[in-house]
Amino acid sequence: MLMRSAWRLALSAVTILALAGSAWAGGTLRVALTATDVPTTTGAPDNGGEGIRFLGFPVFESLVLWDLTRADKLAEIRPGLAESWEQDKNDKTKWIFHLRRGVKFHDGTDWNADAAIWNLDRFLKSDSPQFDPPNAAVTQARNPYYANYRKIDEYTIEIGTPRPISYFPNMVTWALYVSPTQFKKVGSWAEFAKAPAGTGPFKIVDFKPRVSASLARNDEYWDKTRIPKLDKIVVFPMYEATTRLSALRSGQVDWIEVPPPDAVPSLKSAGFQIVANSYPHSWPWTFNLAREDSPFRDIRVRHAINYCVNRDGLVTLLNGLAEPAFGLFKKADPFFGKPKQQYAYDPAKAKALLKEAGYGPEKPVKAKIMITTSGSGQMLPLPMNEFLQQNLKECNFDISFEVVDWGAMLVALRNPPSAPQGLGVDAMNISLHISMDISQFALFNLSGNTPPKGRNWPNWKNSEFDAVIDKIEKSTDQEEILANIQRAHEIFVDDPPWLFIVHDRNARAMTKNVKGFTSAQSWFQDFTTVYME
């Protein structure tokens, strides 16, 4: 009897352990990135959205984070290293952040207001020993609204903005916080990069420049509901698409970012997962509206070209790794609104508009577009633009290209369109708009933010848009804010500074052993739920 009970007890124990093991399989996830190098590990990752996705939020956190747990709606902000925040009732330019208690950096030191101020000094106080000029410049560019900041008590800080900005918390997500103690111990950012310390669910345990970075689970992570299931993530920079594909198919990696579109059918038939989601990740042409003789100064021409694009054809060319774009946001997003212009592939309408504007078969619209051979977020610029060139010909657009490298395009972007660096182009094919929300939408497109001050390269100036953004910034009513964002987007679509072409679905391919991944509607992703079966 005793033996039988012991046997049953042992069997139950084994069963429980086995079930627990399969539910928490862990394992090591090996990821091939499109980056040319391992993103920097100092808490200010380079290599664009991909750098932040893998070596930003998983390792370092901000006061405010993105909720990346859902695939069915746009990611929204949520509390991070700040448990809550509010605008000062008497002065809307002041934001009070209540810091989360009980959080430790990876080196075991405490997160508190002193650490927060130290990190803000890193980006904003040029005479501080930890001032980091290149990353300070990037952080300030992404959020130029830090006017002042101060510690109120051990777990409260105040950040001031130059004017009331209701969406300031969204912009706070760009600054990631690192351990001051660790920096002081190693003495420089170059040394910190070899042994970084953040607060995130993963910690960097190995870093080989140009080869790989390894992230291990942080068992002491403050959010006990988000302790990672994986033991480790190893990321490899592999900017050549065929190399990534070979690495996946030969079993060297488990997950690749951006599989080549023409490999998608064979990957699917070989049992690999192709995971993508829909989110605002626009791949547009941005028009040069500054030049007096630019054909795109005529709104009818801008409408016409938007009605001429065969978006579905381009999506077919990309084997479904993109989706049609009709604005900055997608039609399903709450911010889209109801613009008058409902763009669709309508060559007849496009030709009629052009005829009104004085163009036709005898007098096509001649336009030169700056495109790149590659670049962050540029997808497959050469075949995609060749497709558009042929497509637009049917509506009497005569498109030629100025092909440059990515660096040259960024130089052009930073200067007025009339500058020599602009090469006299009428539009630029550039995908730089990391945005799921109002903050970057406003920053990029306000009239006052033309180069060299900002990124409104088209020189698009719409006073109604500016007025609506002003209302959004001053408002505290969420419904009013949403209605005004919709209005701002309607203006953006009806008076378009862009040719809306497609949204990049940012697909990834992975082996069938990768489980638990939720593809958030965001440029960033949550790896804490992923495990290897």
Binding-site ranges for another protein (CB under 8 A): 36-37, 40, 46, 126, 133-134, 136-138, 140-142, 144, 188-190, 193, 208-211, 236-240, 242-243, 246-247, 249-252, 405-408, 410-411, 413-414, 421, 443, 449, 451-455, 457
**68 Cβ neighbours under 8 A, 6+ residues apart:** 75, 518, 520, 522, 524, 525, 526
Shortest distance, CB of residue 142 to another protein, whole angstroms? 7
Q: Which is nearer to another protein, 213 or 304 (CB)?
A: 213
Q: Toward another protein, which CB reaches closer, 47 or 294? A: 47
CB of 52 to another protein, least distance (A): 13
Query: From the CB of 292, what's the least distance to another protein, in Å?
Result: 23
Residue 384: exposed, middle, or buried by beta-carbon count in 10 A (0-12, 13-18, 19+)? buried
Based on CB atoms, which residue is closest to another protein, 282 or 421? Answer: 421
Q: What distance in Å separates the CA atoms of residue 322 and residue 304, rounded to the nearest whole number?
A: 22
Amino acid code (one letter) for 101: R
Nearer Cβ to another protein, position 243 or 277? 243
CB of 19 to another protein, least distance (A): 33
Considering Cα of 8, then 11, then 15, then 16, what sign does the dihedral take? positive
- Give the C-alpha separation, 450 to 453, whole Å: 6
Min separation Cβ 309 and another protein, Å: 26
Phi, psi of 531 (to 5 degrees): -150, 160
User: Closer CB to another protein, residue 133 or residue 334?
Assistant: 133
- Pick 205 or 483: Cβ nearer another protein: 205
**SS3 of 492, please?**
helix
Q: What is the DSSP letter of 504?
A: E
- Let me know: does 359 contact 301? Beta carbons within 8 Å: yes
Please check whether residue 404 is in contact with residue 372, taking contact to mean a CB–CB distance below 8 angstroms.
yes
* CB of residue 417 to another protein, shortest distance in Å: 12
Nearer to another protein, 144 or 320 (CB): 144
Residue placing its CB nearer to another protein in the complex, 277 or 415: 415
State the chain's maximal CA–CA distance in angstroms: 100
Task: Give the nearer residue to another protein in terms of CB position, either 313 or 416.
Answer: 416
- DSSP per-residue letters across 14-51: HHHHHHHHHHT---EEEEEES-SSPPP-SSS--SHHHH
Q: State the minimum distance, in angstroms, from the CB of residue 349 to another protein.
A: 35
SS3 call for 298 = coil
CB 257 within 8 A of CB 509: no
We find the least distance from the C-beta atom of residue 294 to another protein, in angstroms, to be: 20
Is-contact 181 203, C-beta < 8 A? no
Q: Which two tokens stand for residue 475?
A: 């408002």
Q: For residue 447, what are its two tokens?
A: 């009239």
